[in-house]
Amino acid sequence: MITNMYDILRRPLITEKSSYQSGKLNQVSFEVHAKATKAQIKEAVETIFKVEVARVNVINMPAKRTKRLASRRMAVRRKAYKKAVILLAPGNTIDVFEGVR
């Protein structure tokens, strides 16, 4: 059960692709709660960051298997998660790296 806005947005996703999207396309990516809806995600982003959201796309990312070579080729499984790609209205920005040098 989702009790408040901060439970919906788990963490921002910082990758090469998301950095490009935030710079050129005015989009930001977040890992969100597995049961969060598009309307809840939109409301959480608008409330927490004080911006206007134009669109929310949601993707269920499947679990993946990877190998670690450090200790005898150990198989590791990454968890599945839900990803939200949020298109901000023109003129709005979210600085994910605020205060980082």
pTM of the prediction?
Answer: 0.85
pLDDT for the residue 71: 63
End-to-end CA distance of the chain: 36
**Cα(84)–Cα(55) distance, rounded to whole angstroms?**
10
pLDDT tens, position by position, 54-78: 999 999 999 998 877 766 677 888 8
Q: What structural domains does the chain harbor?
A: 5-88 (3.30.70.330)
pLDDT for the residue 66: 83
What would the two tokens of residue 34 be? 């597995």
Task: Name the pLDDT band for 9 (thresholds 50, 70, 90).
Answer: very high
30 neighbors 36 (Cβ within 8 angstroms): no
SS3 call for 23: helix
